[in-house]
Amino acid sequence: MHRYVLPVLVAAVAAVSTYALAASSTVVQSDKKFSTTEMTISKGDVVVFKNDDPFTHNVYSQSPGIAFELKVQKPGESSDIKFDREGTGEVRCAIHPQMKMKLTVK
């Protein structure tokens, strides 16, 4: 059984190390707006979407390369998204259509 422990441990450390090396940027949702209208990050970076509003948001992008959906994000919640592919597109809130930002992953 011990022969399986080392490969699993090595894989876990590699996954944590890769995530730890990624840069992190935070986008705050407040007053039904994103804290920035444009952001450029590097491939492999993490964006933290933090809901500082008193109501729910549903942040998403359908743009190729950066597609994601947070689903329901309650007040006070934060969600991390790691972007592993290059692309440029729009990030929006499905509940508040005026919320828009441009995200570029290089």
pLDDT at residue 17 is higher than 60? no
CB 86 within 8 A of CB 65: yes
For the cut 60, the answer to whether the pLDDT of residue 3 exceeds it is no
pLDDT, tens digit (0-9, with 9 covering 90-100), for 20-29: 578 999 999 9
User: Is the confidence at residue 52, as pLDDT, over 70?
Assistant: yes
Domains of the chain (ranges, CATH numbers): 23-105 (2.60.40.420)
Q: Which 3 state secondary structure label does DSSP give 81?
A: strand
Quote the pLDDT of residue 9.
Answer: 47
Q: What is the pLDDT of residue 11?
A: 53
DSSP state of 63: S
Mean pLDDT, residues 82-99 taken together? 97
Q: Give strand pairing partners of 30.
A: 33
CA distance 38 to 77: 22
Q: What is the pTM of this model?
A: 0.78
pLDDT for the residue numbered 22: 81
Spatial separation of the C-alpha atoms in residues 106 and 88, rounded to whole Å: 8
